[in-house]
Every structure is written in structure tokens, then in C-alpha cells.
A = this chain, B = another copy of it.
């Protein structure tokens, strides 16, 4: 299994279609599932992609438009029916928390898990942290308050070369300092360089989710140097005016963000239902940023494979 795997559950936009589901993603971080947005039908899409409800504990909502949150009541009710324990934290704006709390208290009062809220704002902030990752909000530019989310793996520890450590008689208690990159000084005062005792850590990966937003300098700055960027590309170049008017992006806009931020890879999504084929959007993006791919329902991306 990938250490970090992105699952696309839905990558359509507000007006529904039979080609795409409304927005929802699940980031699998070593078998802990982080949901990003939760459009209508998210719970079914989880089943379709064989993502376990029991492993889902955090849901991040980018903004309070229906196509990004109307799946919450159904999903959270199903978690209750499935007997999920522990807690589920929904990271959302105050209004979203209030709406959801009221709905859940009416429709799903008996919950075997604890429903928690983490109230976020549009100011850039670290909103989640554990041993493996941090999640930081990215201020977006949309018609309503909206944020993206930057998931960043923490720097990894180096791996002990067991043979070498044994040869140099490094005691077990010192292994942690080796993992952190320190050299070993033995009883005779001889320094054994860390590089002789350990192997390099895996690269810490970062993933940024930016939807919905129009092209924005602040977004580019916030995702600078990111490995993987998901950026909305609701429209093609021919609809640039609509994109601006509705605070959305074109595929060219998305590619511009990836290019200027120095991202490694770009995934575009949130496609308008006017398109029966999204490849023209791909082509437009690739003119500026060749390492672009299209999101589609069911797509799994191993983010460790850069």
C-alpha cells in the first residue's frame, strides 16, 4: 500500500451530471483516511472505492457551497449506523458547523462516535497535526469564504542499517539519535559518521488542494514548492470570462498556479458539466504545465511516486 494515496471520489462542479460526482477526495495517510470536501453521494463513492468508514476520522470542508458539503449528513449518519467508534472531526467554518450540528442532532441523535468540530477561518493556519502530517489552510479567492488545504508530511527519520550498527556496537538506546541524523561516538571516542550507520529517509511529500478559487497570487505563494497540486479547472480558455465572473479557474489558470509555484505535479478537476470530454482542458493545461493529469471518479494516485 502507498504511504500516501489520493483517491478522487468526485470531481464535478455545482451542476450535477452523469459524468462526474460532486467534489470529494480521500487522502489515505498510512491507512488513516482524511476526507476533503463531501459532495452528495460521497458515502457511496467511498463504498465504490473500497475505502473503510472505520478509518475515517477527519473531514475538511473547503467552503459552504452545496456541491462541497451536501454529502455530510448522509455520510455521518451511515458512520453511526455502521457503529463507528472514536471521534470524527469536521474542520469547517462556523456556519457549516452550526448547520451540520443541527442536522445531526435532529436526524442522527444517537451516535456511537463523538462528532467534533474544528472551526476554521480564512486566515492561513495549521488546523491539524499528528505524528505524520500537518494540515494548513490556504486562503482561496471565491464568492464565499473558502480555503484550500496543504497536507505536508513531516520530515522522515533516517533508517538504521542494522548490520552496520551492530558492527559498530551501537547500543539500542542510541538508535533514535541515529534516525535523527546524529553521528555515533563510541566508547573510545571514535566518531562513526551517521551516513555509515543509516540509510536516507524517504522524501516528505506535500499535497495541496485548491478548490474553488480563481487565479490568485496568494494561492501561488501558499503552495510554493508543493509536490502535488490539485487545482480546480472548472472551465476551458473559451470560458475565461465566465470563470472570472464566477470566481473559478480555467485549466490555463490551474497550470499557471502549478508552474509559478514550482509544483512537481498537477491534477485538475471540478469540471463544468458543459464538457462531455475533459481532454481539451488537459491539453490547455499541459501547454503551460506538462506534468498535468485529469481527475476522474475512481482515480487513485500514489503520491509517493513522483
* Chain A residues proximal to chain B, CB less than 8 Å: 14-18, 22, 40-41, 43-44, 47-48, 64-66, 70-71, 73-74, 77-78, 81-82, 95, 99, 102-103, 106-108
Contact = CB atoms under 8 A, between A and B. Distances in A.
A107 to B, nearest CB: 5
A104 to B, nearest CB: 10
A22 B40 CA distance: 12
A244 B190 CA distance: 78
B74 A16 contact: yes
A78 B16 contact: yes
Contacts of A70: 73-74, 77, 107
13 contacts: A14-B77, A15-B78, A16-B78, A18-B48, A22-B74, A40-B40, A40-B71, A40-B74, A41-B41, A66-B74, A70-B107, A102-B102, A103-B103
Contacts of A99: 102-103, 106
Q: Which 6 A-B pairs have the closest CB atoms?
A: A40-B74, A66-B77, A70-B74, A66-B107, A15-B81, A41-B41
Contacts of A14: 77, 81
Copy total for this chain: 2
A82 B14 CA distance: 11
Given A66-B108, A99-B106, A18 B40 contact: no
A44 B66 contact: no
Contacts of A15: 78, 81-82
B16 A64 contact: no
Contacts of A71: 40
A18 B41 contact: no
Contact of A16 (B17, B44, B103, B108): B44
A91 B44 CA distance: 27
A106 B70 CA distance: 12
A43 B40 CA distance: 10
B40 A107 contact: no
Contacts of A82: 15
Contacts of A107: 64-66, 70
Contact of A66 (B16, B64, B66, B73): B73
